[in-house]
Structures are given as C-alpha cells and as structure tokens.
Amino acid sequence: MVKSLLLVGFGGFIGTVFRFSISRYIQVTYFSVFPWGTFLVNILGSLLIGIIFGLSEKGNFLTNEWRIFLTVGICGGFTTFSSLADEAFILLQNKEWLRFTVYPTLSFFLGLSAVFIGRTLIKLF
C-alpha cells in the first residue's frame, strides 16, 4: 500500500508540474478569454489515459505498479476537473454564454472521444 501511495504521489507531482507548465505557457503566449490551457491539457490527458489503459488491456505491457503510476499518478495530476469547473463558473459569471456552453461540453465529449481513440489506437497495433 505504501508503495502504491508513493507511486501515485510521485506521478501526481510529475503530472501537476506538466499541467502547470503547459497551461501557463499557453496562457502567457496566447491571450484568450477561453481557457485553452486547461482545455488542451484535459483532452491530451484523456488521450494518454486511453492509450495507457489500451496497453494494459492488450497484454502484459505494463505492470500494475506502472499502470497506477501512469494513470492515477501522472494522468490524474495532469488533468483537472476542478480547474475546468472554476473556469466554467468564471465564464458564467462574466455572462460569456456561448463560451460557458462550449467549454464544458466540448471538454467532456472530446475527452471521452480521446479516451476512445487512445484505446482504439492501441488495439489496432
């Protein structure tokens, strides 16, 4: 159990640093009311988790420890529902009706699609 906690914690640290770095870079480089950084990180994280679970299901490519480290740790730290919810709330508060509707809707459906694509890609190879 301690080993799993350490794997998740270390993976979460790595994922969180990547998320912050990518989101911050996008925020500083491209000005937009739309929260592109979180949006892109969540879709990319969904694709990665789909690929990782696809590899897990395909065969003995990943041990249970690696799967926990990569999915719960790195992908869990990399993606963030709480940031999505907060940014959607800010759009709502600012009466950005179209962006408020598009952001969470696309995040969910593109995230779900990315998981499907990731798993499907692994099954094809």
Q: What is the 3-state secondary structure (H, E, C) of the chain?
A: CHHHHHHHHHHHHHHHHHHHHHHHHHHHHCCCCCCHHHHHHHHHHHHHHHHHHHHHHHCCCCCHHHHHHHHHHHHHHHCCHHHHHHHHHHHHHCCCHHHHHHHHHHHHHHHHHHHHHHHHHHHHC
For residue 28, the one-letter residue type is V
Range of the domain at 20: 2-124
Total tally of structural domains belonging to the chain: 1
pLDDT digits (tens, 9 = 90+) for 15-35: 999 999 999 999 899 988 899
pLDDT of residue 82: 78
Q: Is the pTM of this model over 0.85?
A: no
- For residue 55, the model assigns a pLDDT of 87
Least confident of 57-66, 71-80, 111-120: 57-66
85: nearest Cα among 95, 73, 100: 100
**pLDDT tens by residue, 34-69:** 999 999 999 999 999 999 988 888 877 888 899 999
- Tell me what pLDDT residue 61 has: 81
pLDDT value at residue 81: 87
